[in-house]
Amino acid sequence: MTDLTHRFTGHGALVTGAGRGIGAAVARRLAQEGARVLVTDRDAPEAEHVAAALRREGLLAEAAVCDVADQGAVDAAVARAAAAFGSLDVLVNCAAHCSADGPAFEDDPDESWARDLDITLGGVRRCCRAALPHLAASGRGAVVSIGSVNGLMDFGNHAYSAAKAGLGSLTRTLAGQAAARGVRVNLVAPGTVRTSAWEGRDDDLDAVSGCYPLGRVGEPEDIAAAVAFLASRDAAWITGTTLVVDGGLTSVHTGFRTALDGSGAGRR
C-alpha cells in the first residue's frame, strides 16, 4: 500500500497561483507529502507568505514571482525549480482570471475576453511548454491543471468558462502527445470552493450549499487532495482525464428532485 505521507519524497513541484486559495492548499498538500515546492504567484508577498508558512512547519518550499501571462517569467520559474530541486516532477496549474459578465453578451469587452483566455488557458500552455522537457527528463512527470464545472455547464462568466472548457481539450490533446515522453496530464474540475474570491459573501455560500447533494461547498483542501492523487503514482495509469470534484453538483439535479416531492428524494 502506498504511504500517503511520502508519495512525493524527492519530487520537485511547481504550483502557479499558489499565493492563496486552491493553489496555496495544493502547495501545502504536496509539501506535506514530501515534495520540494516552488510556490509561485504574480503577487510576490503572497507567494513568500505561503512558502514561509510551510518552512515554519519544517516543509521544503521556496517562493518565486511568476505571471503566467509572461513567457519569460514562466521560463524563469521553471528553470529555478529544476535547478533548486534537481528535477521538476510535478506541475500544477492553478493561476486563472475571471472577468465579470456584462449586462448582455454583446457588452463584454474584447479586453476582458482576451485577458481571461490568455491567463486561464494561455497561461497553462506557457507553463506546460516550459516544463515538459524537465517533466519528461524526470521519468515520472505529471501535470495537473485546475479546470472548473464552468467548463462543463452554464454557471455564467462567458470568457472564463470558455477558457476552462478549453483546458479540458488541451488536457486531452497534450496527454496524447506527452504520454510517449512518460508525462501524464490531467485536469481537476472543482465546483464552488470557499476561497478569498467569496470573502464577505458567506450568505451567498450558504445559499448555494443547498444546490450541492453533499450539502456543502468545497474547501481548498478537497481540491488539493484530488490534485495530489492525480500527480502521484497512485494515478500511474490515468492520463487525459477530467476529475470532477463538485459534491455531486453536475451529477445530481437537486432542484429537479426537490420539485418532484419537496423532499429531495425524488419519485420511486
The residue among 261 and 204 whose pLDDT is bigger is 204
The reported pLDDT for the residue numbered 117 is 97
Q: Distance (Å, rounded) from C-alpha 114 to C-alpha 118?
A: 6
Whether 212 is catalytic is no
Per-residue model confidence as pLDDT tens digits over 238-256: 999 999 999 999 999 888 7
Per-residue model confidence as pLDDT tens digits over 148-169: 999 999 999 999 999 999 999 9
In whole angstroms, how far apart are CA 164 and each of 31, 48, 128, 187, 254?
26, 27, 16, 10, 24
Map out the domains of the chain as residue ranges. Answer: 12-261
What pTM was computed for the model? 0.94
Per-residue model confidence as pLDDT tens digits over 50-70: 999 999 999 999 999 999 999
**Residues in a beta bridge with 63:** 39
List all residues 6 or more positions away from 250 whose beta carbon is below 8 Å from its beta carbon.
149, 152, 153, 191, 244
Residue that the C-alpha cell 485577458 belongs to: 115
**Is the pLDDT at 261 greater than 80, yes or no?**
no
Choose, from 41, 91, 93, 160, the residue flagged as catalytic: 160
Q: Distance (Å, rounded) from C-alpha 85 to C-alpha 201?
A: 40
**Helix-strand-coil percent breakdown of the chain, rounded to 5?**
50, 15, 35
- Give the pLDDT band of residue 262 (cuts 50, 70, 90): low
CATH annotation of 12-261: 3.40.50.720
Question: Which residue in 184, 14, 25, 9 sits closest to 92, CA to CA?
Answer: 14
